[in-house]
């Protein structure tokens, strides 16, 4: 009974969520679009002419935001967006989508082949693992995804490139931040207004690779 009540409460909160309504009005596939938009504004990250890789892209709202900022006069896409996920994603105009798990070598090779030697200006990741409810196990999964995103970014970003990745406060978070700080010139934490107050999620924005 308690579970059913909680479910109804969640559905009601979701329906009444102003960001959910705004996403529907603007044609975004998820409210998460506003999280990325705010981070891009706060960090003054320019998108036109850039190469962007969206890790864990489905349902596609982050790719939608990037595409909006890439479209120039006459509706021409000025830049390149490569999106990747283990789940199918409905097409977004101008976005190159790859179905696969970027933890697998074969998928990484496919992504590298698609880049054709080009460096990436921005890597974005809104990925989150399926949570088990076991704190230590979940923290390890979250940390692993952040490490994988960082590893990809270090291999493919330009010297002054940017990585935006979702993390969660809790066990292992400080280690993730320290790892980022070892490898990037500037690392900041962002909690966008569109993030729910009860959520432990926070976004790390890392830019400028050290030692290049």
Q: Which residues are identified as catalytic?
A: 166
> Is position 85 annotated in a ligand binding site?
yes
Q: Where are the alpha helices (DSSP H) in the chain?
A: 2-16, 18-26, 32-42, 61-70, 105-115, 135-156, 173-183
The answer to whether 165 touches 189, Cβ cutoff 8 Å, is: no
17 known ligand binder: no
- Which H/E stretch holds residue 125? strand 120-125
159 labelled binding-site residue: no
Cβ 164 vs Cβ 124: under 8 Å: yes
Check whether 126 is labelled as a binding-site residue.
yes
Q: What are phi and psi of 5, to 5 degrees?
A: -65, -45
What's the DSSP call for residue 58? T
Reduced to 3 states (helix: H, G, I; strand: E, B; else coil), residue 186 is strand
Q: Within 10 A of 152 (CB to CB), how many other CB atoms are there?
A: 21
Q: Tell me whether residue 105 is annotated as binding.
A: no
> How far apart (Å, rounded) are the C-alpha atoms in residues 172 and 181?
15
User: Residues annotated as binding site for S-adenosyl-L-methionine?
Assistant: 60, 62, 85, 101, 126
Annotated binding site: 60, 62, 85, 101, 126
């Amino acid at each position: 009974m308690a579970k059913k009540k909680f479910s109804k409460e969640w559905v009601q909160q979701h329906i009444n969520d102003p960001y959910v309504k705004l996403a529907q009005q603007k044609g975004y596939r998820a409210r998460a679009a506003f999280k990325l938009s705010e981070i891009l504004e706060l960090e003054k990250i320019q998108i036109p002419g850039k190469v962007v890789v969206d890790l864990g892209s489905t349902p596609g709202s982050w790719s939608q935001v990037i595409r909006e900022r890439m479209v120039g006069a006459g509706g021409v896409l000025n830049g390149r967006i490569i999106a990747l996920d283990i789940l199918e994603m409905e097409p977004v105009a101008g976005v190159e989508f790859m179905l696969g798990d970027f933890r697998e070598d074969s998928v990484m090779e496919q992504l590298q082949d698609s880049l054709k030697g080009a460096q990436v200006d921005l890597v974005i990741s809104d990925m989150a693992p399926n949570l088990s409810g076991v704190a230590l196990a979940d923290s390890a999964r979250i940390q692993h995804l952040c490490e994988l995103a960082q590893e990809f970014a270090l291999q493919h970003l330009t010297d002054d490139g940017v990585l935006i990745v979702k993390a969660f406060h809790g066990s292992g978070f400080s280690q993730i931040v320290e790892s980022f700080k070892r490898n990037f010139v500037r690392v900041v934490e962002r909690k966008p207004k569109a993030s729910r107050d009860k959520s432990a999620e926070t976004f790390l924005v890392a830019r400028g690779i050290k030692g290049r």
